[in-house]
A and B are shown apart, each in its own frame.
Chain A
Amino acid sequence: MTSRVQTLRSSTTGNMPAAGSRQPGELWLNFADFALGFIDASKNAQRITAVRYFQITANYAVGDFVIQAGALYVANQAVTAGAFSAPQWTKIATASDIPAGYVLPPASTTVLGGVKVDGTTITATGAGVVSATTNPVNPNRLDNGDMWVDQHNAGASVAIPAASGVWCPDRWGTYNTKAKFTVGQNYSVATKAPGFQYFLGVQTTGGGAAPAAADANYISCTLEADAVGDLMFGTANAQPIALSFWVNSSLTGNFGLGVASSGTTYRIYFFTYNIPTANTWTKIVVTIPGDTGGTTTNWPNTGNSGQTQLLFDLGSGATMAGGSTLNAWQNSSTLIFPSGGAKLVATSNAKWAITGVKLEAGSVATPYPVEDLARKLARCQRYFQRVEPTFAGWYGGAAGNNVYTAINFQVSMRASPTLTITTNNCSNLSAPVLGSLLSGTSGLYLQGSLISSPGGYVLDAYCNASAEI
């Protein structure tokens, strides 16, 4: 071919160059029917597909595209000049078939094998399933798993008295028999787990010592029945659960952990988790089968009573040693942990910390969910909250009469709460006492007796309401 631009024109309709009549690379054009093409390497004429508006003066070959009345057609036969004849054309699509942003087949069209789109649903016949790729984050059944809420102690560490326990942070109870632990939010461990700003930290105090047989030293978090009833423990339909958490300790080795029912006799599944490196956060992920044993007496699946306990052993005595049967549900008359293993209580100033604790339905541990702060706090206030019943006035009646103030709880509580009253300022009133609870779980009123009357009175106090479980 030559390198110069050629201008070709033919006014003869359908005048496609004959095979071998032109040189490769040449262009050809028939003005009359808008046919455009080039000569390929075999000297054959090739047409370039063009879409034009249908014209009654033009002839069309099989495969020609035209637009007629807003629709796209392709010729299914040779078409001679004349009026548009629908049987000669196959309709490809109209604009309304392709809405903006979507490419979907027409309704009730089988698009692939047995997969059919009917306009509202996608169905599949045969053994196939319709699936979608998702990245779920299951909700956490545990409250305050990231240890952010600490209404009880406002971030202060607490030495646990002998034969007692403390809530720190909210929803997490630490118990010891011999005053061996101090616990606190972000206490004892110097670093933080990846992605978490808060943790529950404990440290042995008063010197380490091996636990006596009856010593109980552990951390627990208990869920009420209505929070986990859908897991159907105690039935043939019990669902598996996944437990995940970050842990850090100055000790290494296998530590005891258990999941147990509440009640007078227990169903318990205990096992160990390993901390391979001291003073380093380690992610632990465990899958636990649903308990098809036991009964709904062990696992009350409705109500506000305690149902499922998560228990971390800090070094309990032989009475709570459960033997060597790990990783299986079993009956027990007491809470038990794996025999042997690491005992935090036995080492002076030993440290242990945990955060990002998540218990979820299913056999796959998904990422820790992000919750807004108000919801996180409200979840904990179902079990503990502080209210401030400040009031003042003037009373003209007889001394010895009572004045009252009503306080609504910020969140309805799990049960009628235990109330402790701390008085900041109390003038001309006897020590205030709990008068009654409003509907049990929604609020309370305090009463105080006037010391001198007529006269003014002031009460500035706060109340801790606890319905922990």
Chain B
Amino acid sequence: MPVRPTMNTTYSEVWDARTNAPSTTIVQRDLDGAFIPDDPANLDYRDYLAWLDAGNEPTPYTPPPAAKTE
């Protein structure tokens, strides 16, 4: 892949409604809100792995405000 200038960004967990837990296959890039799947052929995922290797951790998922029932 090209030598791309490094994106200065952090990452956050994404909530998986099916498992009712943070997704183990998708992470969100805080810089632009992009969702990144865990495919090694995805360049953005490679960037994320490099970010993890540098000792970083994604921001834990924060549940939205409680929904209301009418």
A interface residues, Cβ below 8 angstroms from B: 163-165, 173, 175-177, 216, 220, 222, 262, 304-306, 309, 311, 334-335, 398-400, 402, 414-421, 430, 433-437, 440, 447, 449-455, 466-469
A165 engages B4 (CB within 8 Å)? yes
* A222-B2 contact in complex given A420-B34, A436-B26, C-beta closer than 8 Å: yes
Query: In the assembly, what is the distance between CA of A450 and CA of B69, in Å?
Result: 10
Determine the chain B residues whose CB is within 8 A of the CB of A305 once the complex forms: 1, 41
Query: In the assembly, what is the distance between CA of A359 and CA of B7, in Å?
Result: 30
A163 engages B41 (CB within 8 Å)? no
Task: Report A136 CB to chain B, min CB distance, Å.
Answer: 31
B interface residues, Cβ below 8 angstroms from A: 1-8, 14-18, 25-26, 28-29, 32-39, 41-45, 64, 66-70
Interchain CB contact (< 8 A) of A421 among B35, B44, B70 = B35
A418 engages B17 (CB within 8 Å)? no
* A414-B7 contact in complex given A430-B64, A434-B26, A450-B67, C-beta closer than 8 Å: no
B7 engages A222 (CB within 8 Å)? no
Query: What total count of A-B pairs have CB within 8 Å?
Result: 111
- What are 9 A-B pairs at a CB distance below 8 A? A165-B4, A173-B4, A177-B5, A335-B3, A418-B35, A418-B45, A419-B35, A420-B34, A447-B17
* A420-B33 contact in complex given A309-B2, A433-B14, C-beta closer than 8 Å: yes
B3 engages A216 (CB within 8 Å)? yes
A418 engages B37 (CB within 8 Å)? yes
A433 engages B42 (CB within 8 Å)? no
A434-B37, A453-B70 given; name 5 further pairs at CB < 8 Å.
A163-B5, A175-B2, A399-B67, A433-B35, A468-B43
Query: In the assembly, what is the distance between CA of A108 and CA of B11, in Å?
Result: 75
Interchain CB contact (< 8 A) of B41 among A216, A304, A433, A434 = A304
A164 engages B2 (CB within 8 Å)? no
A449 engages B17 (CB within 8 Å)? yes
A400 engages B67 (CB within 8 Å)? yes
Query: In the assembly, what is the distance between CA of A416 and CA of B36, in Å?
Result: 8
Task: Report A259 CB to chain B, min CB distance, Å.
Answer: 13
Closest to A455 in B: B70
Determine the chain B residues whose CB is within 8 A of the CB of A452 once the complex forms: 67-70
Interchain CB contact (< 8 A) of A469 among B8, B37, B43 = B43
A418 engages B34 (CB within 8 Å)? yes
Closest to B69 in A: A399
* A164-B7 contact in complex given A418-B35, A418-B37, C-beta closer than 8 Å: yes
